Structure 1
Amino acid sequence: MRDATVDGAVAGAVGVWAMDVATWTMYRKEPPELLEQEKRARVFGKDVAHAAARRLARMAGSDVARDEPNAGGIFVHYLLGIGPGVAYAQLRRRHPWIAAGKGALWGTALFVINDEVAGPLARVASGPRSYPWQTHVRGLVGHVVLGVATHVVLDALDRAP
């Protein structure tokens, strides 16, 4: 049996990439007025990962994370998928019910926890009511894609020699 931590990190990174493909496809089709409303709701006018990087940089007395995209924001973005990927890889081996929906349930849970609860509590996202409903749908779809992609990669790695 392969190392679940390494496999989870790889699967989580692939999951983030898949989520980005899905959400950017949706983002590009949204009307400009909704995108502007979303941008006004964002902390520092940035996505959650870049807002977190900006907040951390400011706490350190730096302004390196001012522009977007930047290495800090991209690092945080991937970390937010790699960490849960590692957790999912570990948990699904011990508790198979975690894999219900082949990662879709996991992705849904990540959406609720990260986007709707943790982001606003960490002050890197505004409260859920600040965003148009389309933003929430895009976030949910993206996280379900992340969960399913993570699951598919882990299944493939489990079958690898």
Structure 2
Amino acid sequence: MKMNGTVAADLAKGAAAGAAATWVMDRVDWYMVEHEDPEAWRRTQHVRPNGKDPAHNMVGAMAKAVGRAPPAQPHPAGIAMHYALAMSSTAVYGTMRRHIPDGVIGRGLVLGLGILAIEDELINPALGFAAPPRRYPWQAHARGLVAHLVLGLVTEAVLSAVDSRTRSSSRRQEARRR
């Protein structure tokens, strides 16, 4: 199957923007962990399957499937999985975002809420990579909401900046041709 050049470029831009946004999201998330009630963090850790985040549990399941011991957290494979999950969602978003109304902020919020609802609240618990949502303290949900909204907003901001730069470059090239 041949991929349209624009679709391929949008996938790549979405993935790259998602990588940057994941880095920012993680800093915001850890800032919130460091400033929340320590008991809420302990409860979050206690209900997590294997005491690990979903990405590390995914890597653990893959390790078990090939006869290896699941890695401890943090582990480079778990961190890579965390980035891969975000980047796959933001890559797809990169191809669809122009069809979502409400501009930069609205689109970023849609992305962040969508990833939170679909991945964190539905898929991860259904597959056993996270506990059922009701088992987590409210602080974990609040932190997840803020972190994913940051992910969405930063992804959209990066993509909008790239679009703006691309449009400016195209206008300069067109002016030179005249």
TM normalised by structure 1 equals 0.92
Q: Which has the higher contact order (CA 8 A, sep 6+)?
A: 1
The one of 131, 139, 152 aligned to 2:136: 131
> Cα–Cα, structure 1 residues 149 and 20, in superposed 2: closer, same or farther, change >3 Å?
same
Find the counterpart in structure 2 of residue 43 from structure 1.
Answer: 49
SS in 2 for 1:3: helix
Q: How many Å separate the matches in 1 of 2:100 and 2:119?
A: 23
Find the counterpart in structure 2 of residue 97 from structure 1.
Answer: 101
Amino acid at match of 1:8: G
**Contact 1:102–1:152 (CA<8 Å) still a contact in 2?**
no
Cα displacement (A) at 1:55: 1.4
The one of 128, 141, 158 aligned to 2:146: 141
Cα displacement (A) at 1:54: 0.9
Instruction: Give the number of the structure whose alpha-carbon radius of gyration is greater.
Output: 2
Q: How many Å separate the matches in 2 of 1:110 and 1:11?
A: 15
Aligned residues: 159
TM normalised by structure 2 equals 0.84
**Contact 1:98–1:106 (CA<8 Å) still a contact in 2?**
no
Identity %: 37
Amino acid at match of 1:39: Q
Stretch moving more, 102-111 or 118-127? 102-111
Cα displacement (A) at 1:97: 2.3
RMSD (Å) for aligned C-alpha atoms: 1.7
Find the counterpart in structure 2 of residue 78 from structure 1.
Answer: 83
> Cα–Cα, structure 1 residues 78 and 126, in superposed 2: closer, same or farther, change >3 Å?
same
The one of 19, 35, 52 aligned to 1:13: 19
Unaligned runs of 5+ in 2: 1-5, 170-178
Amino acid at match of 1:48: P
Per-residue CA deviation, residues 39-75 of structure 1 (Å, 9 max, x unaligned), is 1100110011111111111112111x42111121011
Detail structure 1 runs of 4+ shifted over 4 Å in the superposition: none
Find the counterpart in structure 1 of residue 39 from structure 2.
Answer: 33
**Contact 1:9–1:85 (CA<8 Å) still a contact in 2?**
yes
**Contact 1:92–1:98 (CA<8 Å) still a contact in 2?**
no
**Contact 2:97–2:107 (CA<8 Å) still a contact in 1?**
no
Q: How many Å separate the matches in 2 of 1:96 and 1:68?
A: 37
**Contact 2:101–2:107 (CA<8 Å) still a contact in 1?**
no
